[in-house]
């Protein structure tokens, strides 16, 4: 059955792409800064955090803004894609009423649109990292693998949440709280070492932790991520995508009756 | 090939019901065991009320829902419009959205561009195709959405009631496109509340009710069931007595025979025309009270008019349905006219009345421009319908409709509707009546009648229902009914439409006798007396009809006046069958014109004084009809051809037109009196009394007080030609319409003597050829007793092609005719120098040569002023007139009226 779904999705790959592009176009059609807005908000967050942690908390870390950047960009992709894909079906029910297409397209195209945004962010910022540490160019394959796995993770989570949201509308609100909580327990502006030992286990339940760590390793520290880290990144993504597809196909008929 | 197959499909929704803040989940079955198959290329309509499962079926076909039970097979790609503009991204342009949506429909990537072109050209969005769709009007939105839906690959097209949004032009284009797709063998499933549209597009319809498929049948049958059951529950009643049942639904009544609907579309309805607007019973708010198992009362209240209609309908033994329709108003309402319409299925092929019968033409379903067509005016009380003779699967019962004589109905008409209705219509029209409110609103009955189905002998039923009073002897038969009397001979009806009726003009209105209320008393076998009261006129018209022999009868009409009443005109009318092709009168005979015009046309000079007039036919079944009218009562006769609606020959016996209204003071007056004989030979005679004087080129023809002037075979005169006229007391009496003539001819002299009917005046005309180019006219006048005249004339009316006039040395051009119909024509020139000669100049153009014509006079008893006149737009003629406009008393005696010469110069 999964096979059929993937086949159908493959047939609709162009539509998937078109929808992602059209979402991007629609998003930037009425915004002032256009595609650059995907850079402005991480830049602003980075500035705030840098100010708070260097001037207020006196954290002493070399190139602290670069550290922040290496974490904040993936985080924002994660948080934005999750929020929007969660309500992607709910917001586009009318499409389901009219077209008989693989329903997965709705969350998938939403995640894809954010992924494109995310890539644009890297295209601009990667040269900056290169400037400070030219040898990270050798780690580029690792970066690509991590980015792809990151996409897979979000595709899975998007599928899962989008279908659940139709049945339980409160997920949208819970998600925003959950994301805020996750942000603080993700080592974006601190290193894992800061966390007291008795709370280190918390990191294990946060799928973003290995991803952020991997990004930091590759971009900031300029080292190859540990095998364990890569494995956990890989397993998180695969788990999420399998779970997403299973839940989606199970609940699909139920949501169609609800629309 | 079955393209769609539903086999016992059940579909359930779970609904959350919140009752008193407590949520309960409830299972709702949207479809309950629906099974049907649709073949490839079929166009199927899906009808039913809201929430009856139509959209669920479409969703299942589209694959958006899976059935909870049962199987669905769909063998083809599906496209459709279920949700308007669903895939549209408001921020994107129309074109971008086309690309996106075509993709959503599953069109392969490489075909999209090509499709997009077709879509854009079909949608006709124009340059706005490059604007974001959020700026689109609703109409553009629909156009684009529809264009996309029909330009993607599909075998099955689903359309869910959204065509209604576009303008009419676009709708028509959509319909055309749908028909085109139908041609291409696409399967189309169509949900719409526009039943007429469905009727045109689909052959078959599925009628859904409460999740069940109630009827899967031909479109007509499904729609009729649907229209019987839709609507507010308070306004529905059903009477049943197998095999007949009657369904009342919010202002429409439907009859079913063994569950076959006999009254399609709106069934039986009534409508009123009040202050320039029609109010149909289907627009009223209805409430039904069931009186008994076989009877109900329905009360309909109109919103915009203070009118309430009450219908009482009962189903009786012998498949009879009785109606009583009445109305009441809360203030005085003038109801200008009303209709009671009975629609019947087109399987009914013939209509019959006690008198006539006819076949309905087949309605051409291809002819979209055909209008409802009036087949016949039947002024009968009962009418029957019979199904066609050819074999059919379902039995269609014959039926008879009749109304009681006391009701308001004035006219019964048989219609064939247009292709949309595709049915037969029997329409009863009421005359104008006032609905008085009074202190307590009182319902007055406007239609009371019955419909009987499966009548064993329709003819005897119709005669029995017909309230005629019949006089008969031998082959002659007179049937009197409510102010009109039918004349039959050996089973053939000689009269038609209104048959024998009387008409009265009074108070500026026409009062036909069939609008009066009549009491009939039969005095013996051969005669009857009928007394009719026209509401609004204070007298009783009394008819006496008496059969006086095997082939003759007498018809007398008198008035019993109760209060003084002005009467302008009164006449009796024989509307004879168009089979009568010729007429005769005292002064001659002739043929009726072959074609009927828009209005009644006089075909013969009026026949005054002694006489008999009549009509005859070559068809031996139509005996010659001779009408002898009374001299004592000053009657005269007219013979006319009716208009193209009536298509009849009319013999009219009229009272002499008085100078003013006849003011009748109370009393009894005989007015009209005729004896009618059938089968008498028409008097032999020449076509008409024409006398001629002529030289080789000049010719003057005298006929009945009128002279015609010819030159070289071309008539120079027109209409009235040469005539004389006198004006007494403000009224014109001219030689052609007011006098009776006797003519003698001796070689080159024609002498004619004419007696004026309403003046004590005669004239003797002597017309002789003076030379080969001139004619002498001498008119003597004999006055029997002194009369006072204010104008006298002798005229020559010439063709309008004459454009120049001459009078001695003066001359000029005629101007165009004045746009007036005044008695006083436009006088162009008045010769006061006593030269005594006026004329018109010769006309030479490519086609015809018309010589100059001059009229001159010599001294006679009266002095003449030669006047050149341009007549009015009615006559459009140039007139050379000798006029004496002195008011004078002419004592009894003999006078030389006019001595003159008509001269041709060329």
Q: Is B90 on the interface with A (CB under 8 A)?
A: yes
Q: Does A51 touch chain B (CB under 8 A)?
A: no
- The alpha-carbon gap from A26 to the nearest alpha carbon of chain B, in Å, equals 5
Q: Read off the pLDDT band of A240 (50, 70, 90).
A: very high
Question: pLDDT tens-digit profile of B584-593?
Answer: 887 677 788 8
Judged against a pLDDT cut of 80, whether residue B281 lies above it is answered with yes
Which residue, chain included where needed, has tokens 């609008």?
B515
**Average pLDDT for A26-53:** 75
Query: Strand B865-870 relative to strand B878-884: parallel, antiparallel, unpaired?
Result: antiparallel
Residue with tokens 């080159």: B748
For residue B233 the two structure tokens come to 């529950």
Residues 6 or more apart in contact with residue B688 via CB below 8 angstroms: B587, B588, B589, B590, B703, B704
Check A12 against B103: CB less than 8 A apart. yes
Option in A11, A99, A256 nearest B104 (CB): A99
Q: For the residues of B382-396, what is the DSSP string, one character each? A: EEEEEE-SS--SS--
pLDDT in tens, B638-697: 888 888 877 889 999 887 665 556 667 788 888 888 999 988 877 665 445 577 888 888
Residue pLDDT, tens place only, B890-904: 898 899 898 888 888
Interface contact flag, B14 A257, Cβ < 8 Å: yes
With contacts defined as CB-CB under 8 Å, which chain A residues touch B104? 15, 19, 95, 98-99, 101
- Per-residue pLDDT tens digits for B78-137: 888 777 777 788 888 888 888 888 888 878 888 888 888 888 888 888 888 888 888 888
Gyration radius (Cα) of chain A, Å: 19
As a whole number of angstroms, the distance between CA B406 and CA B518 comes to 10
Q: Tell me: the pLDDT tens digits for B512-538?
A: 887 787 888 888 778 899 998 887 777
B132 touching chain A per CB within 8 A:
yes
Q: What is the distance between the alpha carbons of residues B406 and B386, in angstroms, rounded to a whole number?
A: 27
Three-state SS at B861: coil
pLDDT, tens digit, 9 for 90 and up, residues B773-808: 888 999 999 998 888 898 899 999 988 888 888 887
A30 and B CB contact within 8 Å: yes
Look at residue A225 and tell me whether its pLDDT is greater than 90.
no
Cβ-contact B812, B869 below 8 angstroms: no
The answer to whether the beta carbons of residues B866 and B831 sit under 8 Å apart is yes
Please tell me which of the candidates A12, A98, A253 has its beta carbon nearest to residue B87.
A98
Q: Which residue of A has its CA nearest to B60?
A: A100
Confidence (pLDDT) at B748: 77
CB–CB contact B92 A25 (8 Å): yes
Starting at the earlier edge strand, list the strands of the sheet with B320-329: B285-292, B295-301, B307-316, B320-329, B444-453, B399-403, B382-387, B348-352, B357-359
Residue B391 has pLDDT above 60, yes or no: no
CA B478 to chain centroid: 27
For B337, the token pair is 């006219």
pLDDT at B440 over 70: no
Residue B195 and residue B475: Cα distance in Å, rounded?
53
Tens-place pLDDT, residues B606-643: 666 567 888 988 888 889 999 988 777 778 888 888 88
More confident residue, B664 or B371: B664
Q: Phi and psi of B744, rounded to 5°?
A: -130, 145
A14 touches chain B (CB under 8 A): yes
Q: Quick check: A25 and B103 CB within 8 A?
A: no
- Work out the average pLDDT over A118-134: 86
Which ranges in A103-207 belong to alpha helices (H)? 105-132, 140-167, 171-184
Judging by beta carbons within 10 Å of its beta carbon (0-12, 13-18, 19+), is residue A10 exposed, middle or buried?
exposed
Give tens-digit pLDDT for B121-152.
888 888 888 888 888 887 788 888 888 888 88
Task: Say if B603 is an interface residue toward chain A (CB within 8 Å).
Answer: no
Predicted pLDDT of residue A236: 92
Cβ–Cβ < 8 Å for B415, B433: no
Question: For B443-466, what is the mean pLDDT?
Answer: 79
A129 in Cβ contact with A215 (< 8 Å):
no
**C-alpha to C-alpha distance for B834 and B863, rounded to whole angstroms:** 10
Mutate which of B58, B81, B89 to test chain A, going by most A C-beta atoms within 10 A? B89
**Cβ neighbours, 10 Å, residue B612:** 20
pLDDT for B587:
66
Chain A CA closest to residue B90: A26
- Residues from chain A that touch B66, judged by Cβ atoms under 8 A, are 253, 256
Which of A26, A95, A253 is nearest residue B104 as measured by Cβ atoms? A95
User: Cα distance from B168 to chain A (closest Cα, Å)?
Assistant: 25
**A118 close to B (CB below 8 A):** no
* CA proximity to A151, closest of A105, A114, A101: A114
Q: How far B96 CA sits from the closest chain A CA (Å)?
A: 8
Contact B104 A25 (CB under 8 A): no
CA distance B386 to B352: 8
Given a cut of 50, whether residue B179 has pLDDT beyond it is yes
User: Mutate which of B104, B107, B111 to test chain A, going by most A C-beta atoms within 10 A?
Assistant: B104
For residue B769, the surrounding DSSP H or E stretch is strand B761-771
On whether the CB atoms of residues B166 and B155 are closer than 8 A, the answer is: no
Distance CA B114, CA A7 (A): 25
Chain A residues near residue B103 by CB distance under 8 angstroms: 12, 14-15, 18-19
User: Contact at 8 Å (CB) between B244 and B315?
Assistant: yes
For chain A, say whether B91 makes contact (Cβ under 8 Å): yes
With beta carbons under 8 A apart, name residues in chain A contacting B109: 14
Instruction: Determine contact, residues B385/B399, Cβ cutoff 8 Å.
Output: yes
Q: How far apart are CA B147 and CA B120, in angstroms?
A: 8
CA A7 to chain B, closest CA, distance in angstroms equals: 13
Q: Which residue of B has its CA nearest to A19?
A: B100
Mutation to test the A interface, candidates B61, B78, B84, B106, most A Cβ within 10 Å = B106
Contact B105 A99 (CB under 8 A): yes
Instruction: Report yes or no: A96 at the B interface, CB cutoff 8 Å.
Output: yes
Does the distance separating the beta carbons of B89 and A23 come in below 8 Å?
Answer: yes
The token duo for B293 is 């198992």
Q: What is the DSSP string of B112-127?
A: HHHHHHHHHHHHT-GG
Whether the complex's predicted ipTM is more than 0.90 is answered with: no
Q: Is A163 on the interface with B (CB under 8 A)?
A: no
Chains A–B, number of C-beta pairs less than 8 Å apart: 71
Q: Quick check: A15 and B104 CB within 8 A?
A: yes
CB of A162 within 8 Å of a chain B CB? The answer is: no
CB-based contact A253 B104, cutoff 8 Å:
no
Could you tell me where the beta strands, DSSP code E, fall in B242-381? 244-249, 252-257, 260-261, 268-274, 277-280, 285-292, 295-301, 307-316, 320-329, 333-345, 348-352, 357-359, 373-378
Q: pLDDT tens for residues B344-363? A: 888 888 888 776 777 887 77
What chain B residue is nearest to A20 in terms of C-alpha separation? B100
Q: What is the pLDDT of residue B687?
A: 44
| Contact at CB, B13 and A256, closer than 8 angstroms | no
Contacts of B229 (CB under 8 A, 6+ apart): B209, B236, B249
Q: What does the pLDDT average to over B212-219? A: 82
Predicted pLDDT of residue A108 = 93
Report the length, in residues, of chain B.
Answer: 906
**What is the model's pLDDT at position B650?**
92
Window 335-394 of B: residues touching A by CB (8 A cutoff) are none
Per-residue pLDDT band for B392 (boundaries 50, 70, 90) equals: low
DSSP code at position B413? E
pLDDT of residue B163: 63
Torsion from C-alpha of B668, B672, B675, B681, nearest 10 degrees:
170
- CB-CB neighbors (< 8 A) of B89 in chain A: 22-23, 25-26
Which one, of B432, B445, B525, B534, lies nearest residue B482 by Cα? B534
Q: CB of B154 within 8 Å of any CB in chain A?
A: no
Per the prediction, chain B carries an average pLDDT of 82
Give the pTM: 0.52
A98 touches chain B (CB under 8 A): yes
**Top-confidence residue, A143 or B283:** A143
8 A C-beta contact, residue B502 and residue B485: no
- The residue in chain B having the minimum alpha-carbon distance to the alpha carbon of residue A9 is B106
- Give the per-residue pLDDT at B830: 80
Which strand (E) or helix (H) includes residue B592?
Answer: none
Is a pLDDT exceeding 90 seen at residue B190? no
Burial (CB < 10 A; 0-12, 13-18, 19+), residue B443, is middle
Task: Indicate whether B369 pLDDT > 70.
Answer: no
Find the closest chain A residue to B11 by CA distance.
A257
Please tell me which of the candidates B81, B96, B104 has its beta carbon nearest to residue A101.
B104
Q: What is the mean pLDDT of residues B204-228?
A: 80
CA distance A5 to chain B (A): 14
Strand-pairing partners, residue B72, are B6
Q: Say whether pLDDT at B340 is over 60.
A: yes
CB contact under 8 A, B81 and A98: yes
Q: How many CB atoms sit inside 10 A of residue B49's CB?
A: 16
Residue of B nearest to A94 (CA): B86
Chain B residues 276-295 within an 8 A CB cutoff of chain A: none
Q: Give percent above pLDDT 70 in chain B.
A: 89
Which residue in chain B is spatially nearest to A29 when comparing CA positions? Answer: B91
Distance from CA of A169 to the nearest CA of B (A): 14
DSSP B496-538: EEEEEEEEEEETTEEEEGGGSEEEEEEETTTEEEEEEE-TTSS
Lowest mean pLDDT among A24-33, A71-80, B175-184, B546-555: A24-33
């Amino acid at each position: 059955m999964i096979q059929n779904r993937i086949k159908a999705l493959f047939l609709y790959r162009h539509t998937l792409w078109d929808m992602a592009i059209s979402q991007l176009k629609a998003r930037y059609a009425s915004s002032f800064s256009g595609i650059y807005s995907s850079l402005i908000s991480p830049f602003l967050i980075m500035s705030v955090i840098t100010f708070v942690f260097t001037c207020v908390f006196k954290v002493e870390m070399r190139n602290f803004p670069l550290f922040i950047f290496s974490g904040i960009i993936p985080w924002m992709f994660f948080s934005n894609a999750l929020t929007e894909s969660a309500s992607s079906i709910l917001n586009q029910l009318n499409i389901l009423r009219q077209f008989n297409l693989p329903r997965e397209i709705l969350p998938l195209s939403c995640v894809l649109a954010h992924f494109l945004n995310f890539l644009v962010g890297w295209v601009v910022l990667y040269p900056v990292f290169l400037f400070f540490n030219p040898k990270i160019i050798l780690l580029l394959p690792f970066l690509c693998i991590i980015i792809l796995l990151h996409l897979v993770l979000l595709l899975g989570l998007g599928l899962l949440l989008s279908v659940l949201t139709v049945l339980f509308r409160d997920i949208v609100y819970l998600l925003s709280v959950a994301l805020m909580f996750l942000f603080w327990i993700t080592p974006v502006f601190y290193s894992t070492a800061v966390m007291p030992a008795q709370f280190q286990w918390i990191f294990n339940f946060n799928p973003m932790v290995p991803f952020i760590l991997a990004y930091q390793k590759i971009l900031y520290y300029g080292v190859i991520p540990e095998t364990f880290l890569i494995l956990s990144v890989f397993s998180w993504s695969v788990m999420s995508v399998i779970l997403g597809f299973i839940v989606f196909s199970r609940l699909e008929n139920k949501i169609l009756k609800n629309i | 090939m079955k393209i769609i197959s539903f086999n016992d499909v059940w579909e359930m929704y779970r609904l959350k019901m919140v009752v008193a803040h407590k949520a309960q989940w409830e299972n709702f079955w949207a479809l309950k065991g629906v099974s049907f198959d649709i073949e490839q290329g079929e166009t199927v309509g899906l009808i039913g009320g809201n929430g009856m499962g139509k959209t669920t079926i479409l969703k299942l076909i589209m694959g958006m829902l899976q059935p909870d039970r049962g199987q669905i097979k769909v063998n083809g790609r599906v496209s459709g419009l279920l949700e308007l503009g669903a895939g549209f991204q408001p921020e994107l342009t129309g074109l971008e959205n086309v690309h996106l949506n075509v993709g959503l429909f599953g069109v392969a990537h490489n075909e999209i561009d090509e499709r997009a072109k077709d879509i854009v050209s079909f949608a006709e969005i124009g340059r706005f195709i490059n604007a974001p769709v959020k700026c689109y009007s609703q109409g553009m939105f629909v156009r684009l959405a529809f264009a996309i839906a029909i330009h993607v690959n599909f075998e099955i097209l689903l359309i869910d009631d959204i065509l209604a949004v576009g303008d009419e032009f676009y709708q028509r284009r959509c319909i055309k496109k749908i028909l085109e797709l139908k041609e291409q063998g696409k399967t189309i499933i169509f949900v719409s509340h526009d039943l007429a549209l469905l009727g045109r597009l689909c052959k078959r319809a599925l009628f859904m009710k409460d999740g069940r498929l109630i009827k899967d049948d031909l479109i007509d049958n499904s729609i009729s069931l649907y229209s019987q059951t839709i609507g507010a529950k308070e306004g529905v009643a059903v009477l049943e007595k197998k095999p007949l049942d009657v369904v009342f639904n919010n202002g429409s009544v439907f009859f079913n025979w063994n569950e076959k609907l006999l009254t399609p579309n709106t069934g039986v309805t009534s409508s009123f025309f009040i202050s320039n607007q029609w109010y149909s019973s289907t627009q009223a708010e209805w409430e039904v009270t069931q009186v008994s198992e076989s009877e109900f009362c329905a009360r309909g209240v109109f919103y915009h008019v203070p009118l309430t209609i009450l219908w009482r309908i009962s189903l009786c033994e012998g498949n009879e349905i009785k109606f009583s329709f009445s109305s009441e108003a809360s203030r005085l309402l003038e109801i200008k006219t009303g209709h009671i319409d009975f629609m019947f299925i087109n399987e009914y092929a013939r209509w019959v009345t006690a008198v006539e019968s006819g076949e309905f033409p087949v309605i051409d379903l291809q002819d979209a421009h055909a209008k409802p067509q009036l087949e016949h005016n039947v002024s009968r009380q009962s009418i029957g319908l019979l199904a066609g003779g050819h074999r059919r699967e379902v039995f269609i019962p014959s039926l008879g409709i009749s109304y009681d004589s006391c009701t308001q109905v004035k006219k019964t008409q048989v219609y064939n509707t247009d292709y949309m209705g595709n049915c037969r219509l029997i329409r009863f029209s009421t005359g104008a009546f006032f609905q008085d409110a009074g202190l307590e609103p009182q319902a007055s009955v406007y239609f009371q009648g019955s419909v009987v189905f499966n009548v064993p002998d329709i003819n005897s039923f119709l005669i029995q229902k017909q309230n005629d009073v019949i006089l008969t002897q031998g082959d002659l038969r007179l049937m009197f009914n409510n102010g009109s009397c039918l004349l039959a001979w050996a089973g053939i009806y000689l009269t038609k439409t209104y048959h024998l009726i009387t008409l009265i003009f009074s108070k500026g209105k026409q009062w036909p006798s069939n609008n009066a209320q009549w009491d009939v008393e039969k005095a013996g076998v051969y005669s009857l007396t009928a007394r009719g009261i026209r509401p609004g006129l204070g007298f009783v018209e009394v008819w006496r009809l008496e059969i006086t022999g095997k082939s003759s009868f007498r018809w007398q009409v008198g008035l019993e006046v109760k209060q003084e009443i002005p009467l302008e005109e009164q006449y009796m009318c024989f509307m004879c069958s168009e089979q009568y092709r010729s007429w005769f009168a005292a002064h001659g005979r002739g043929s009726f014109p072959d074609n009927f015009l828009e209005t009644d046309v006089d075909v013969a000079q009026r026949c005054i004084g002694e006489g008999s007039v009549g009509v005859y036919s070559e068809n031996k079944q139509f005996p010659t009809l001779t009408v002898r009218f009374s001299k004592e009562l000053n009657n005269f006769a007219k013979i006319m051809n009716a208009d193209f609606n009536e298509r009849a020959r009319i013999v009219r016996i009229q009272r002499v037109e008085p100078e003013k209204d006849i003011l009748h003071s109370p009393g009894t007056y005989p007015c009209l009196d005729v004896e009618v004989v059938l089968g008498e030979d028409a008097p032999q005679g020449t076509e008409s009394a024409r006398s001629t004087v002529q030289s080789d080129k000049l010719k003057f023809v005298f006929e009945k007080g009128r002279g015609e002037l010819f030159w070289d075979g071309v008539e120079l005169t027109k209409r009235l030609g040469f005539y004389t006229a006198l004006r007494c007391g403000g009224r014109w009496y001219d030689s052609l319409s007011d006098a009776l003539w006797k003519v003698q001819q001796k070689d080159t002299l024609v002498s004619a003597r004419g007696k004026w009917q309403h003046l004590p005046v005669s004239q003797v005309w002597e017309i002789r050829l003076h030379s080969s180019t001139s004619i002498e006219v001498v008119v003597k006048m004999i006055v029997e007793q002194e009369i006072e005249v204010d104008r006298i004339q002798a005229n020559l009316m010439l063709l309008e092609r004459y454009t120049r006039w001459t009078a001695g040395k003066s001359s000029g051009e005629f101007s165009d005719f004045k746009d007036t119909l005044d008695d006083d024509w436009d006088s162009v020139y008045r010769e006061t120098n006593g030269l005594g000669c006026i004329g018109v100049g010769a006309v030479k153009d490519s086609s015809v040569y018309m010589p100059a014509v001059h009229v001159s006079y010599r001294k006679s008893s009266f002095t003449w002023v030669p006047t050149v006149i341009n007549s009015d737009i009615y006559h459009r003629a140039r007139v050379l007139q000798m006029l004496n406009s002195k008011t004078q008393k002419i004592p009894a005696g003999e006078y030389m009226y006019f001595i003159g010469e008509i001269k041709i110069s060329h």
